[in-house]
Amino acid sequence: MSFSRAEAYAPATVANLGVGFDIIGLALEGMGDRATVTFKDRPGIVFSKISGDGGMLPRDPEQNVASVSARAFLDHMGETRGIEIQLNKGLPLSSGLGSSAASAVVAVVALNKLYGEPYSRQELLPFCLEGEALVSGYHADNVAPCLLGGITLVAGISVDAIQPLPAPDDLHIALVTPKVAVPTAEARAVMPSHVPLKTLIFQTGRVAQLVDALHRGDLRALGEAIGLDKVAEPARAHLIPGLAQAREAAKDAGALGVFIGGAGPTLCALCDDGVIAERVARALQAVYCALNLTSEICATRVDNRGSVVLRAE
């Protein structure tokens, strides 16, 4: 069954989980992007509306991740009709919450619905990556959990390289996003091109510890592992104001571990209780208030659904 209009939702994500640079990501409940895609008779892709971006996102379909991903799908389908996209950004830009991945995913998921969903969520991955690559290169640590939900291990960019990891039931996450933009390109530019062998051994050991902790549901071991990054965080720490103070405040409030969400500046604190997560979020906001920086906070959990179609007609 085909449709003429479909609306979809794609959740926020955080990548890396500290030590898992470019290979681990998770989806977050309660925040994300929405898009409505409609077929039109004339060829081409147009944005009838983009909201929630403060006018920052390009309306040029060759420069917007949502339309680039949609174009990849349309070309694959051999479609001659055009589409109209209404994009509602529920995620701040350059925040470390997978904003570009959500835009890429939500457009493709809605478009797939217009055709009666011929492809599974996993099979939509290559199309979504085309949009994500526009701003941050071909890596799926945000796109995969955004599409599929949960926590994902991303060993490559092909469908068979994506593996789900268990999300412990008692895992809660406190987030703080200070009003400081950290563009992904800038955050990637400061990453070291080489790491010493000793650092490599340490880092791979912590990744193994993280995966083991998830499988055993050991949140304390998980919190320990994510806070031991020796590669990305040292290179990016100067881009995140108040990082050391925030980590200390979060742990004092009961957090098990703190890591930079993706490229930042969002900081994520792992907790084993919802009440503690709310307390940690307030403690994180207090740090940025003391630094005269406004911030947004949230206490949330892992979104196990991933992207979903909201309606179609």
Residue in the block written with tokens 């998770």: 26
Q: What pLDDT is recorded for position 220?
A: 97
Q: Known catalytic residue: 132?
A: yes
What would the mean pLDDT of 26-37 be, rounded to a whole number? 97
Least confident among 69-73, 151-155, 182-186, 289-293: 182-186
Position 1 pLDDT exceeds 80: no
Strand arrangement of the beta sheet that strand 257-260 belongs to: 257-260, 267-271, 172-178, 295-300
Residue in the block written with tokens 């991955």: 125
Q: What pLDDT is recorded for position 137?
A: 83
Q: What pLDDT is recorded for position 188?
A: 86
Q: What pLDDT is recorded for position 309?
A: 98
Q: What is the mean pLDDT of the chain?
A: 95
Global pTM reads 0.94
DSSP per position, 3-26: -SEEEEEEEEEEESTTT-TTTEEE
- Reading the block at residue 160, the tokens are 């068979």
Domain 172-300 has CATH 3.90.1580.10: no
Position 76 pLDDT exceeds 80: yes
Domain with CATH 3.30.230.10 in the chain: 5-165
Strands (E) across the chain are located at 5-15, 24-40, 45-51, 82-88, 151-154, 162-165, 172-178, 257-260, 267-271, 295-300, 308-312
Q: What pLDDT is recorded for position 117?
A: 97
- Where residue 138 falls among pLDDT bands split at 50, 70, 90? confident
- CATH no., domain 5-165: 3.30.230.10
Q: What pLDDT is recorded for position 266?
A: 96
Intra-chain end-to-end CA distance of the chain, in Å? 10
Position 13 pLDDT exceeds 80: yes
Strand, helix or coil for residue 149: coil
Of 132, 177, 266, 300, catalytic: 132
Q: What pLDDT is recorded for position 186?
A: 83
Q: What pLDDT is recorded for position 162?
A: 95
Of 13, 184, 266, 300, catalytic: 184
Domain with CATH 3.30.70.890 in the chain: 172-300
- Reading the block at residue 173, the tokens are 């996450």
